[in-house]
């Protein structure tokens, strides 16, 4: 029932429900966009800092919710936040797959590709 109420509220605020993925709501303007992604009882807001604060305040006024800050882990994705962007990776998932197939103890080999360091600009 809460999903229906949330869905009605978001669409009344100009968000469009994604037909392929009903848990995603997108709101576009001339130069900005906002995404609300819902998974079970979690919600991720993706938008500019100004829009994020405004959307969170509106949602908190209409729904009982708690802000747990930036998402660090979601659906197997590990997320690190930086001032100039985010880094998304899946090393935990990779380790689980390697362990499942008894490949986690194998000696790694070098990979012939250039890897950019996070510290390099």
Does 76 lie in the same domain as 48?
no
Average pLDDT over every residue of 73-100: 84
Does 51 lie in the same domain as 10?
yes
Does 79 lie in the same domain as 57?
no
* Residue 101 pLDDT grade (very low, low, confident, very high; cuts 50, 70, 90): very high
Does 64 lie in the same domain as 7?
yes
Measured in degrees and rounded to the nearest 5, phi and psi for residue 73 equal: -150, 130
Does 99 lie in the same domain as 80?
yes
Q: Is residue 76 part of a domain?
A: yes
Does 63 lie in the same domain as 17?
yes
**Mean pLDDT score of the chain:** 82
Q: Is residue 120 part of a domain?
A: no
Strand partners for 88: 79
Query: What is the per-residue pLDDT for 62?
Result: 83
Measured in degrees and rounded to the nearest 5, phi and psi for residue 80 equal: -115, 135
Does 89 lie in the same domain as 74?
yes
Query: What is the per-residue pLDDT for 119?
Result: 66
Average pLDDT over every residue of 69-98: 83
Instruction: Name, of 14-18, 63-67, 85-89, the range with top average pLDDT.
Output: 14-18
pLDDT higher than 90, residue 56:
no
Closest CA to 44 of 91, 107, 86, 95: 86
Number of domains observed in the structure of the chain: 2
């Amino acid at each position: 029932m809460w999903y229906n109420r949330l869905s009605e509220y978001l669409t009344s605020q100009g968000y469009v429900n994604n037909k392929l993925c009903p848990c995603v709501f997108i709101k576009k303007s001339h130069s900005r966009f906002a995404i609300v992604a819902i998974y079970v009882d979690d919600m991720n807001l993706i938008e500019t800092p100004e829009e994020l604060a405004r959307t969170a305040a509106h949602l908190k006024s209409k729904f009982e919710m708690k802000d747990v800050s930036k998402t660090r882990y979601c659906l197997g994705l590990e997320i690190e936040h930086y001032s100039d962007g985010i880094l998304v990776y899946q090393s935990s998932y990779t380790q689980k797959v390697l362990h499942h197939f008894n490949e986690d103890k194998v000696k790694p080999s070098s990979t012939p590709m250039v890897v950019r360091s996070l510290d390099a600009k």
